[in-house]
Structure 1
């Protein structure tokens, strides 16, 4: 059965939905070619892009905290079906993987509840941190730029950003008048590995009065099951099954139940005046995706992975979001005031063999205010207030986390001052959070937490081209609901999962040394960091199997993360043939528990009305599970006369620094390429033809960060072609 025809899909036929999205794009006919118009030139120096994730706007190069930015042509080339895959080639950043519909950013080995995903400064409002098979409800194809804050961003965004934050800027609520009365962009693309068909359009317009600014966007994407180089199951799993006398799996060439369908759209309008703006917007995000290999986890692991319709698991995610944003400038002693409010209605339905299995509902509210003050005693800074509430419920046989009502309030200040060649940034934040649960269904009581975060960063400017930075942070994170109250079968991870309602706040202390050198055609960025965690919360394998299914518990122990990154870019030739740039990058992270001894845990599993009790000893030292392997990448880029092209490869090392009961993963190399031809027209419009390739060597690639690494490899060789129109 086609993915667009499964239960929960919109009633509008797929061809009609695609046509509806594309007919909004004006000027799709390609006019006569003219000389390039500077208005359509793409940014070549991403360090010069203003970063919006901080209340004190600066360029990426001027910020003392480590940040990566994707914008312009580089963002166009990186855009993928998931946010994680879009940012996965940035140094220090990789992606989780649960099929093509799910990819969450992993920053320096940290993911889930430690990496905050933001929609222009406000939380995404989804439940992607709850489970590895839950998608992020943000569409990267509609982004203007994507910013990755590496290291603790707790100071700005609270407990859930202790490992970093990814901020997607989409401009759905305009904050300024447009450069032209009507402008926008549209895109059509088709891909070979999964029969992808994607159409996207966004339009921004300013009224004749010059005060009202309108925004509209829409996207539709459909893919089929994707091609893989060999077998769906890894060689290790096939050998294990053969040794146990099980029949060998024969799924090869195409990965069953890996299809994807996504619809997204938004409307926004703002009044823009001389001293500020106020705007409102509404958006929707709806996606349906299959879970490859889910039959292995279903029914306590007894079903066969036959890819049949009766065995497959599909997820339908629907989110409706409303926002209000306002800004006011020149307030006497204060420079700016920015206020943001959002309301999200989110429903996530898991279908098992076409029938509704489990339904997750999440209603989230968030408000944020930032007040930037002028220099006080030489310090320029900003006060901030962030308030959020989440009403979560789960209903179904596999609702392993009880419903909860969570509230968070955070108050912070961040400031900076220059002392000649030395720039100093300081900040402090205090958070108060609570999780209320029904004691009749939860394994523990409601909890309240307090957390305090402090940050200091210094930058020495040895000249216009070189600066050295030092960052010191103390950040705290409160436990998430799933870490406290999980109690039952978690189909996505193929395990029974048990929380610990006595978990305490975890505390991270980071030290980072960074170097930036940018002289002429050569640019170098490097960083070394170490993070010590007190009471690090992690999902530990017990080594116990209950009714043939592994049991895992949420545990706390001290931990240490040590890593480094380097990124070198050199424009070694620039003449009449164009500009030729070589880039090399590498990153690595080592993560270990540093506690002592073992901890004895007890848990019980209910099966057919009978309860069986278990105990296990959890080691408080050793490697942490699913840590991203080290990488090295190289790329050659060329641009000239309206053309641009690139060829690159990323080598992922094998990962054998594994936790107890975890298997090692082989290394692999992914080769990618891109080619684009850009032309502007006499009317001020532009168009671009592009051709992108990924995994060009058709390598079998199994990310170590994926729970499905033995069941679902990455897609094989893929070629994507399309056209972009700018107007």
Structure 2
């Protein structure tokens, strides 16, 4: 097992001692920039240095105080208040970004331009191995991003910029930040420290960060199980007083069992900075342990699994009171990186080279017993060569290559071992024609998936994927911009979609892949508008995406021993949607700056085929199988699609203070797929308050209070497989201190 990092108390003491011993950093305000207009932030996810305002593609950026206010335990929750972006949910330890209704293998999660190296796309209970509390900025590319990041970004990409390998000297010899926080709804205790420094010569630059977080089982407004599930389980006739009393004692209420989280993260990076470039190396670890609510595995005795997991002590003292209550996961990742860059290379502006090797292990425990172990070793190489004006075009060539060796061991390893290889070449270029900025791009990928047990499950597969893109932005003066984009993007099926075959405990279902899946092809058209006039900003977009051979996990209507069966299917699909974001600074005087924001987004996804498709699968039962053949409809709604929502926020900044309060209404999702239930809507109200002090020594201190779900409303996201077993956390207040130096 990985070596445990310091407890919160020890880490807190170490942070305070380190801060007290630091020399003054100078007279400049050391706080990270309080960016008032996030459109002016340079986006690192693209090789061409552009601000969010200048990009022809839709992008959202979180940085500065807005990022501080949004940071949460998971990356998905951190970005979930941005237009067009929501989060998956599988307990508080797991939240992956959902962009315009797409998630999983269609949304690439990046650590400063390189894939995170985890297996969060394999299963909905697998966490993303990136810690949002350590981010400098987070960038969300909406719409197909295959041009830059390949097949896994056909729905978009989320790039977390953390600066773990420095690319330039720091402004002061030593600078950094630290944070301590505590939360009421889950007994959260979090401590974070970051240090960056430069040698006296200015050539050697280092980075160091560490984080420790512990939370207990979180509070919920009512019962863990939804009213619909309790009604179906206990029936309408069981309403006598004795039954109600006994049932209330047995059922989780007020607190969600097995919803604890413990996370440790640390990194060290060192770079040599020269006049024309840099070279740096870094190493990092990410270790997290979290419970999977609602999964006792007692229901699996019908399928040959042991249903008698004793409630003994857990294998580690730090969460022995939680792990014995059900399934919990221990995830450990070690990552090693080399990065380098050269500037002014004749006809080329810059060359950037990035190489990362990741060793990942994910162990699922059932009480004290090890259920399944997932191992994933990956290596990724990325080169970006930015060229100067060629026939009026500024652009960049790129090469991306990666390998993944995946292995699952255990009775519940529903995905076979596989080796995946991918190589892609791309070019992206921009040119200005009067008041029009034009962007063109092309990419081709070659992918191979080799699977063990190929004769029994299916053959190894080779895929070629080609993506083309064109986007334009018209400047109708300095305040008004109109953009239009067209994409043709392709995605190759993943090993999970091709070869899944067995019981998937996380989703409480059998999953069956299809080794004959083809590439899916997306054709997108999008129209966007940005208007900025004085105190008023308006951004809006509408889009339509036609998918050919869209791959999705379809419910079959078959329940074997009470466990549903799902198959990976293909069908033509159409997505349509829109987003709007309005900000109005209606008052800016001696009382402070007052800003009102409103936003909304919606997406509709429908199967666009005709008739039915016949599929067959076999559910294993010891040494024999139950064989099924079903017809899947090729039209209708897609499953687990995010509902429309609308939100509003009021912000105030004055002197040393800032505050905000906002509410987001998630609509009832009644456009559901076959065999899928509707999900009630809900409203989440959040608020924040902060006071900061800049000192003469160049340090800064900030005290903050954040409140989430202040109405203590029962909230069950339609995108979650656990929506009937685990609601979102109830009312919670977090408070703490941030230090900048």
Please tell me the TM-score bracket, short chain as reference. Answer: over 0.9
The correspondence for 2:683, drawn from 665, 669, 692, is 669
**Deviation string, structure 1 residues 445-495 (Cα, Å, up to 9, x no partner):** 100000000000010000001000000000000001110000000001110
* Secondary structure of the corresponding residue to residue 374 of structure 2: strand
Distance 2:29 2:101 in 1: 42
Distance 1:692 1:625 in 2: 34
* Secondary structure of the corresponding residue to residue 26 of structure 1: helix
1:199-210 map, 5 Å: 199-210=191-202
Distance 1:12 1:470 in 2: 49
| Contact in 2 for aligned 1:295/1:301 (Cα 8 Å) | no
Distance 1:529 1:304, change over 3 A: farther
1:118-517 map, 5 Å: 118-243=110-235, 248=247, 250-295=251-296, 299=300, 312-439=326-453, 443-517=457-531
Question: C-alpha displacement at 1:14, in angstroms?
Answer: 3.0
| Contact in 1 for aligned 2:546/2:572 (Cα 8 Å) | yes
2:710 aligns to what?
Answer: 696
| Contact in 1 for aligned 2:27/2:698 (Cα 8 Å) | no
Distance 1:35 1:372, change over 3 A: closer
Question: C-alpha displacement at 1:608, in angstroms?
Answer: 2.5
Distance 2:456 2:237 in 1: 40
| Contact in 1 for aligned 2:226/2:724 (Cα 8 Å) | yes
| Contact in 1 for aligned 2:377/2:404 (Cα 8 Å) | yes
Distance 1:173 1:267 in 2: 8
Matched, 1:623 2:637: yes
The correspondence for 1:26, drawn from 19, 24, 28, is 19
1:4 aligns to what?
Answer: none
2:103 aligns to what?
Answer: 111
Distance 2:61 2:14 in 1: 28
Distance 2:20 2:330 in 1: 34
**Deviation string, structure 1 residues 403-457 (Cα, Å, up to 9, x no partner):** 0010000000000000010110000000000001123575101000000000000
Distance 1:384 1:444 in 2: 33
**Large movers: runs of 4+ above 4 Å:** 8-13, 28-31, 38-41, 244-249, 300-311
Distance 1:29 1:215 in 2: 15
2:618 aligns to what?
Answer: 604
Which structure 2 residue ranges, 5 or more long, are not aligned?
312-321
1:34-45 map, 5 Å: 37=29, 41-45=33-37
The correspondence for 1:101, drawn from 93, 110, 131, is 93
Distance 1:578 1:527 in 2: 31
**Deviation string, structure 1 residues 101-138 (Cα, Å, up to 9, x no partner):** 00000000000000000000000000000000000000
Distance 1:288 1:309, change over 3 A: closer
Distance 1:509 1:306 in 2: 52
The correspondence for 1:570, drawn from 571, 579, 584, is 584
Distance 1:354 1:585 in 2: 46
Distance 2:237 2:375 in 1: 42
Question: C-alpha displacement at 1:547, in angstroms?
Answer: 1.9
2:317 aligns to what?
Answer: none
* Secondary structure of the corresponding residue to residue 360 of structure 1: strand
Question: C-alpha displacement at 1:17, in angstroms?
Answer: 5.7
Distance 1:44 1:678 in 2: 16
Distance 1:286 1:560, change over 3 A: same
Question: C-alpha displacement at 1:25, in angstroms?
Answer: 3.9
Distance 1:30 1:704, change over 3 A: farther
| Contact in 1 for aligned 2:32/2:64 (Cα 8 Å) | no
Distance 1:279 1:667, change over 3 A: same
2:649 aligns to what?
Answer: 635
Distance 1:427 1:298, change over 3 A: farther
What is the TM-score normalised by the length of structure 1?
Answer: 0.96
1:3 aligns to what?
Answer: none
Distance 1:376 1:270 in 2: 32
Distance 1:433 1:230 in 2: 48
Distance 2:236 2:279 in 1: 65
* Secondary structure of the corresponding residue to residue 468 of structure 1: strand
1:647 aligns to what?
Answer: 661
Distance 1:305 1:345, change over 3 A: closer
Distance 1:301 1:580 in 2: 60
| Contact in 2 for aligned 1:47/1:60 (Cα 8 Å) | yes
Question: C-alpha displacement at 1:298, in angstroms?
Answer: 5.3
The correspondence for 2:546, drawn from 529, 532, 535, is 532
* Secondary structure of the corresponding residue to residue 482 of structure 1: helix
1:708-719 map, 5 Å: 708-719=722-733
Question: C-alpha displacement at 1:622, in angstroms?
Answer: 0.4
Question: C-alpha displacement at 1:27, in angstroms?
Answer: 3.3
Distance 1:12 1:512, change over 3 A: closer
Distance 2:637 2:113 in 1: 34
Question: C-alpha displacement at 1:21, in angstroms?
Answer: 6.1
Between stretches 9-18 and 376-385, larger displacement belongs to 9-18
* Secondary structure of the corresponding residue to residue 62 of structure 1: coil
Q: CA RMSD in A?
A: 2.1
1:594 aligns to what?
Answer: 608
* Secondary structure of the corresponding residue to residue 39 of structure 2: helix
* Secondary structure of the corresponding residue to residue 337 of structure 1: strand
1:45-56 map, 5 Å: 45-56=37-48
**Deviation string, structure 1 residues 373-412 (Cα, Å, up to 9, x no partner):** 0011101100000000000000000000000010000000
Distance 1:11 1:73, change over 3 A: closer
Query: May I ask how many residue pairs the two structures share in their alignment?
Result: 718
Distance 1:501 1:38, change over 3 A: closer
1:14 aligns to what?
Answer: 7
| Contact in 2 for aligned 1:294/1:305 (Cα 8 Å) | no
**Deviation string, structure 1 residues 486-527 (Cα, Å, up to 9, x no partner):** 000000111000000000000000000000001111111000
* Secondary structure of the corresponding residue to residue 629 of structure 2: strand
Distance 1:113 1:617 in 2: 26
* Secondary structure of the corresponding residue to residue 492 of structure 1: helix
Distance 1:152 1:305, change over 3 A: farther
Between stretches 481-490 and 603-612, larger displacement belongs to 603-612
Distance 1:300 1:628, change over 3 A: farther
**Deviation string, structure 1 residues 596-626 (Cα, Å, up to 9, x no partner):** 1111111111112221111111111100001
Distance 1:28 1:62, change over 3 A: farther
1:552 aligns to what?
Answer: 566
| Contact in 1 for aligned 2:31/2:700 (Cα 8 Å) | no
Question: C-alpha displacement at 1:22, in angstroms?
Answer: 2.9
2:318 aligns to what?
Answer: none
| Contact in 2 for aligned 1:688/1:723 (Cα 8 Å) | yes
Question: C-alpha displacement at 1:684, in angstroms?
Answer: 0.6
What is the TM-score normalised by the length of structure 2?
Answer: 0.94
Distance 1:30 1:584 in 2: 43
